[in-house]
Amino acid sequence: MPRRWPTTFALFWGTVGLATLLGLVVWLMPPIVPAPNTVSASPLPPAPHHLAKPSQTSPPPGSRALSSANAFAAIDYQPFLSSLQSEAKSLGLTLVLPRSSYAGTSLEENYISGQVLTLVFNNMLVMESKTPLISYYRPLSTAAASLSSGATATWEWIPGEGGPPYRLNFLLDGTYVEMRLFSPPLIDTLSTAVRIANQFQPLGANGGAANG
């Protein structure tokens, strides 16, 4: 029978050489480290939500800083009354607005995006919808609060999404509301947000609160 030793040795050393080469390649490659589980980047199930336009996630340029006094004053919606009523009607939405807020507060713009009505004030952003407003990111911290209407509000901290990281969410007269305070000029705290939220009432035909 023919001798097979040369062939066997060749296969053996060929296998050893290939294994050595693969080991060297693996050793030279950088280690694979699992990406950190960043909670703020975990998307929630799809839900209606409007992200404010980039230019409207911070105080509008030239906004006048509010007085540090705690006095509240009535907000005049008359210049926007027609468009507010028209947009709320097109969405089948019961529009709720703060009848008063910190002195100097004024509405500067309102527009519809999808099923959400956005109100841009000079010191805060308010979004309203018939369906829950849920962020694409999970809040890193939440706190519950009670409004004078008896409604329960949720104070959320969602950094990294753009715009004010804190927002107050509540349901009033069938309307879901999300409010974000611009800081400055306002102090972005739960107590400040609740104080303003307590002023929300349905919009009346004359541009004021329905309940006077």
pTM over 0.85: no
Is 39 part of any domain?
no
- Nearest Cα neighbor of 115 from 137, 141, 97, 133 is 133
CA angle 207, 163, 117 (to 5 degrees): 30
- All residues at 6 or more sequence positions from 63 whose CB lies less than 8 Å from its CB, including other chains: 122, 123, 182, 185
Is 27 part of any domain?
no
Is 24 part of any domain?
no
Please tell me the total number of residues recorded for the chain in this structure: 212
- 138 vs 23 pLDDT, higher one: 138
Q: What is the pLDDT of residues 4-51, one digit of tens each?
A: 555 555 556 566 565 665 554 444 443 333 333 333 222 322 333 334
Is 48 part of any domain?
no
Q: Which residues pair with 156 in a beta bridge?
A: 142, 167
Q: Where are the alpha helices (DSSP H) in the chain?
A: 5-28, 81-91, 190-197
Is 36 part of any domain?
no
**Structural domain count, the chain:** 1
pLDDT score of 202: 93
With beta carbons less than 8 A apart as the criterion, state whether 148 and 201 touch: no
Q: What is the pLDDT of residues 143-170, one digit of tens each?
A: 999 999 999 999 999 887 777 889 999 9
Is 102 part of any domain?
yes
Is 88 part of any domain?
yes
pLDDT score of 18: 58
Is 58 part of any domain?
no
- Mean of the pLDDT values across residues 112-120? 95
Work out the percent of the chain whose per-residue pLDDT is above 70.
Answer: 63
Q: Hey, how many other C-beta atoms are within 10 angstroms of the C-beta on 165? A: 18
Task: For residue 143, give its domain range.
Answer: 71-202
Look at the block and give the residue holding tokens 């004053």: 73
Q: Is 95 helix (H, G, I), strand (E, B) or coil?
A: coil
- 22 vs 83 pLDDT, higher one: 83
